[in-house]
Structures are given as structure tokens and as C-alpha cells.
Amino acid sequence: MKAKITLLPGDGIGPEIVDATRQVLETVAGKSGHSFAFSTHLIGGIAIDETGVPLPDDTIVACRSADAVLLGAVGGPKWDDPTASVRPEQGLLGMRKALKLFANVRPVKLYRGLEAASPLKAERLRGVDLVFIRELTGGIYFGQPKGKETRNGLRTGFDTMVYDENEIRRIVELAFDVARKRSKRVTSIDKANVLQTMQVWREVATEVGKANPDVQLEHQLVDSAAMRLVTNPSSFDVIVSGNMFGDILSDEGAVLTGSLGLLPSASLGEGKLGVYEPIHGSAPDIAGRGIANPLGTILSAAMLLRHSLSLDEDAKRIEDAVQKVLDNGLRTADLGGGTSALGTTQMAQAVMAAIEGA
């Protein structure tokens, strides 16, 4: 197979981890006889610096014409001025909207041997294997009106949380599809005790549940779900939520595994095109030092192979190689590597060696 992959390294550690992951993808391609054509484009702070906007038109064109997109991270202190008219994050949000990527899939899996890196006690962690399905192009992130203005002499900010039933139905149905391939349990997150939007959310989720009785559906309020994630995380399987609740809960869920550095994500729409990125941010404090953990991006590339290119075997090759290097005790600094910690390139090379050797 020949596939076009658009790379969006972005800011901070983005360029380092994306470059390392590109090499892993090339290794996989070499092993299985595929050919991947890469092209690199601007997004985020670096795009603001070079073009004045966080999402240049040619980046969107390059994403639309690709089979899949691999993204590093956006943002950093350089562009953090709250009064600035453009921000790197607008690039990411704009891309999700432009490519209609309404679903963000974030699997949280505990890797063997990393239990000690988790903030939770080992007995609470046993059996944790869950996936967040977060709505990504609606809710309070995009609802209108939003803005800042002076009201009665007071600086006032406002955003609107809004979901229509179609937006809710398609994300809940997607969660059901994912659950069917797992343990057939979905937890729908809302705040139906307070928010009107979330009453509609619960109504529609309930309808989807009635229409699909093969999957068990439960509803949980977002605050108590946040608590259950740390007290009994293994009781979850598929968690579906709106945009903002999913943003918050998925970071909480991710850190259960010990490091944000390990976790991949996929942003998907109706078709095969997807944007794949590690869930951690641009980590400006360690950018350019060659010590960032590339595994979250490498595992995102595995999701890319599976979802956008239907190369399940190659995806599995990457995932097995990652487990193997972890089994061999190899660690980056964030995974507690200490004085023997591997750098970004070394870790990627270890994964490549494991793929070659398999």
C-alpha cells in the first residue's frame, strides 16, 4: 500500500517526537513492504510566527488530501499572552472543526511494569483498561455566543454550551460501536442535575441505549465520575462525554497510567481520515533537549495505521514492540528512567530494533 501521511510537528517537543515517530513508521513500512509519503506542515505557535495564523490554509489542504495526519503538540509560553488575538490552540480547534473530526478516542491502558509510576496504589490499578470517547467539535468549546465584553462596567466573559440531538447521537453511537468490540459497557457522562444541555444529552443517550440493548449503558454525573476514576478506575470500560468534560476527565484518566507520555489519541470523523496525536502537550520546559518520551506519539501512529490505513498487523507490530522495550526495562526520564533514562531518539531506536527483530 502507498499512503500519504501529513506531519504536523507543531511546538515544543512536537518536532522531536514526530520525527522519531516518522522513523518508526518507515521501519514498519520497510518491514511490510508499504510505502508512506510524508509531508510536513505548520500548525500552532510556529505557524503564527511564520505566517501570522495558527492554521494556514495550505495545512488544511494538506490534511484533506492525506490519508492520515500525525500531530505533535501546539502551544507554549511564547504565545500565552491572554490579550493576544491569535493563539496556537486555535489551530488545533480549527483543524478539528475543518476536518469534521467529531470524535476523540483516548485509550487508557496500563503497561506491564509501569505500575510503580502511577499515583495510585497498585491494587486500585489492577485491570484498568478503558477508553474515552470525547465529543470534539461541539459543546462549550464551539457554542455561540462567546466573547468578552464590558457589562455594567465589569469585564465579563461568556461561552455557550450547546448540543443538538444529532451531535449527541453520533458520538454515543460511536461509543456503542467501540464497546461492542470490548466488554459491551458504556458510561455516559453528563451533568443532567444542573445543565439543560446535559438533560438533552441524557435523553438522547438513553434512546441510543434502548435501541441497542446488546450494550449495557449507565449514566454518571461528571463530578462523581471524576471521583470514581481515582477510586475504582477498573470499573469503567467505554466512557462517552461532551467536549469539555472529556477534556478534563481524559487527563485525569491518562495520568493513572503513570505518565501522560505514553498515551495516544485519535480524532476521527465520518470517513477514514483521522488526526493522531499523543495526549500530552508541547512540554516547553523540556523542548529541544532530546529527552521527551516518544511513545505516546509512536502509539498514536499505531492507531493511525489501524484506523486510517486498515493496517492492523502493522499497528500490532508497533504496540508489541513498545511493550517489549518496556518489558526490557527501557525507560525515558518521565517513566522513572533516572540516570539510565533513554532520550527520544534512543527510545525510538529501541522500538525500531524490536520491530526489526520480531
HEC profile of 202-215: HHHHHHHHHHCCCC
Sign of CA dihedral 254, 256, 257, 258: positive
- One-letter amino acid at 117 equals A
Number of residues that bind ligand IPM (CB under 6 A): 5
Residue of 26, 86, 89, 226 that binds ligand IPM (CB under 6 A): 89
Helix 295-307 to helix 312-327 angle, to the nearest 10 degrees?
Answer: 160
Binding partner of residue 252 among ligand IPM, Mg ion, none, CB cut-off 5 to 8 Å per kind: none
Give the range of 10-18, 89-97, 122-130, 348-356 binding ligand IPM by CB under 6 A. Answer: 89-97
Residues 246-275 that bind Mg ion (CB under 5 A): 247
Binding status of residue 92 toward ligand IPM by CB under 6 A: yes
Q: Which residue is nearest to ligand IPM (CB)?
A: 89
Nearer to ligand IPM, 29 or 287 (CB): 287
User: In the annotation, is 223 catalytic?
Assistant: yes
Measured CA to CA, the distance from residue 340 to residue 299 in angstroms comes to: 23
Contact partners, residue 81, CB within 8 Å, separation at least 6:
none
Measured CA to CA, the distance from residue 329 to residue 80 in angstroms comes to: 37
Nearer to ligand IPM, 12 or 258 (CB): 12
Matching residue, cell 451533568: 191
- Asked whether the beta carbons of 188 and 241 are under 8 A apart, the reply is yes
Helix, strand, coil fractions of the chain, as percent rounded to 5: 50, 20, 30
Binding partner of residue 178 among Mg ion, ligand IPM, none, CB cut-off 5 to 8 Å per kind: none
Nearer to Mg ion, 173 or 247 (CB): 247
Instruction: Mark 257-292 as b/e (b = at least 16 C-beta within 10 Å).
Output: bbbbbbbbbbbbbeeebbbbbbbbbbbbebbeeebb
User: In the annotation, is 247 catalytic?
Assistant: yes
- One-letter amino acid at 177 equals D
Nearer to ligand IPM, 111 or 141 (CB): 141
Number of residues that bind Mg ion (CB under 5 A): 1
Closest separation in Å from C-beta 251 to Mg ion? 6
User: In the annotation, is 163 catalytic?
Assistant: no
Give the range of 86-94, 304-312, 331-339, 347-355 binding ligand IPM by CB under 6 A. Answer: 86-94
Nearer to ligand IPM, 11 or 67 (CB): 11
- Asked whether the beta carbons of 277 and 71 are under 8 A apart, the reply is yes
Binding partner of residue 92 among Mg ion, ligand IPM, none, CB cut-off 5 to 8 Å per kind: ligand IPM
Nearer to Mg ion, 36 or 141 (CB): 141
Nearer to ligand IPM, 25 or 74 (CB): 74
Give the range of 85-93, 142-150, 222-230, 320-328 binding ligand IPM by CB under 6 A. Answer: 85-93
Measured CA to CA, the distance from residue 157 to residue 233 in angstroms comes to: 35
Q: Which residue is nearest to Mg ion (CB)?
A: 247
Binding flags for ligand IPM, 230-249, as an x/- string (CB under 6 A): -----------------x--
* Catalytic member of 11, 19, 67, 141: 141
Helix (H) and strand (E) counts in the chain: 12, 12
Of 59, 75, 4, give the one whose Cα is nearest residue 34. Answer: 4
* Catalytic member of 159, 247, 316, 324: 247
For the record, the C-alpha cell of 141 comes out as 468549546
Closest separation in Å from C-beta 40 to Mg ion? 24
Instruction: Mark 84-95 as b/e (b = at least 16 C-beta within 10 Å).
Output: eeebbebbbbbb
* Catalytic member of 80, 164, 223, 320: 223
Residues with active-site annotation: 141, 191, 223, 247, 251
Which parts of this chain interact with Mg ion (CB under 5 A)?
A: 247
